[in-house]
A = this chain, B = another copy of it.
Amino acid sequence: MNLTEIQDCLHEKNFPRLKKELLQGQIADIAEFIDELDDKNTLLVFRLLPKEIAADVFSFLSLESQTKLSSLVNETELHDILNDLQFDDKIDFLEEIPANAVKRILQNSSETERALINQFLDYPTDSAGSLMTIEFVDLKKEMLVKDALEKIRKIALTRETIYTCYVTDARRRLEGIVSLRELVIASPDKQVGEIMNEKLIHVQTLDDKEYVAELIKKHDILAIPVTDNEQRLVGIITVDDIVDVIEAENTEDFYKMATIGEMDTSPLKADPLFLIKKRLPWLMVLIFVNVFSGAGIAFFEDTIQQVVSLVFFLPLLIDSAGNAGSQSATLMIRALAVGDVKIEDWFKLLKKEFAVAIPIGLVMGLGVSVVGVFRAGIDVAVVVATVMSLVVVVGSTIGMSLPFIFSKLNLDPATASGPLITSICDITGVLIYFSVATWYLGI
């Protein structure tokens, strides 16, 4: 698939060649190409796709293009696309378009399907239910392996995965799991019940999708079954969807740690007003926090008046505390997020933090004392070096503890953002700095 050539064909309206070139690409590449087109060309190129791959390409399109396309195609076309979509992709799409558009689409569905779709649309966005698909292979314990294989053969085309099959009883309760690999290896006349694995890893519809991701990562599995609260199998979640969940969770943590609110569009596509709404709230909260640093400084106005050179070192000292604190916080937030560390480990980690922060503080104090002597004399240098060692240790302790405190309060540990820690370290830094200076310099 040669992009410039395709662009040329589009420009020259050479559609037969455009189609030929396009079909040499992978589905994801075709979708990526369509994502970049304007309205007119989106519809034009999409209509060139053979019916067998149209729905597949549609499922790889960005949400923006999906919505655009669904408003551009006619009712029959939309119906055909939706019919060919895998169930979880269909739900993903329906979740994002306006409610009246969903209604219009559902009018063309059978009553059973409409009920099913509505049930899926009701699952909370962060739940396992919202991620699962109903297109799995279910087998019965009493089936012979050869019959199971024959069944799989027949329905393979319409299933999201055939590589893990699920064994259910008459009331649809999950009894076991058997992989296609095990079925292929087993002797054809064995019963499925003899080879299935009864040690089940499964989740429930309302479990958080982060928990689902954790299980799939931990056990290195390709799919996980989802059951309702009566242990009935209602769907499965496959690893490709989990990869997206992992990326989204990481993005959320990155944003939280930089005081940006939840958003799932790229900054390139996001509306400025939307970005302002995501960025402004925490910035305003932090102004409020920072006012206390100002109050601290005001309290020491006399000291500053007498030794103005103390102000030179203010940004240096409070920044260093904030930097050390951000390091500790990030180490803890990440370790909590990937499960390397649990909330009970706090005290053990606190002891280690001292073993790390004290030497770091001393080295930094030593480093800054050189600058201090050179700029403001021995006395100020002693104050600055002492304060540096102190604030680095205090900052590190604050930084490493905050994620645990947030976690304990059932908040996301990532709320302990760099900016928040910087602001808190500022206040403590100001107080420590000017107290030590006032005392040591005898002001």
Contacts and interface: CB of A to CB of B under 8 A. Distances in A.
B322 A257 contact: no
A181 B154 CA distance: 11
Contact of A319 (B240, B254, B359, B423): B423
Q: Interface extent on A, as a size class?
A: 35 or more
A60 B217 CA distance: 11
Contacts of A170: none
Contacts of A222: 222, 239-240
A308 interface: yes
A411 B20 CA distance: 39
B283 A364 contact: yes
Interface string A358-370: 0110011001100
Nearest to A182: B156
Nearest to A185: B156
Contacts of A327: 258-260, 279, 283
Interface centre among A28, A293, A330 (most CB of B within 10 A): A330
B315 A304 contact: no
Interface stretch (A37-45, A94-102, A334-342): A334-342
B286 A315 contact: no
Contact of A340 (B268, B313, B352): B268
B323 A257 contact: no
A50 interface: no
A360 B280 contact: yes
A442 B349 CA distance: 53
A282 to B, nearest CB: 8
Contact of A314 (B242, B314, B334): B314
A184 B301 contact: no
CB-CB nearest 8 A-B residue pairs: A266-B340, A258-B330, A294-B312, A418-B418, A290-B316, A220-B240, A272-B355, A293-B315
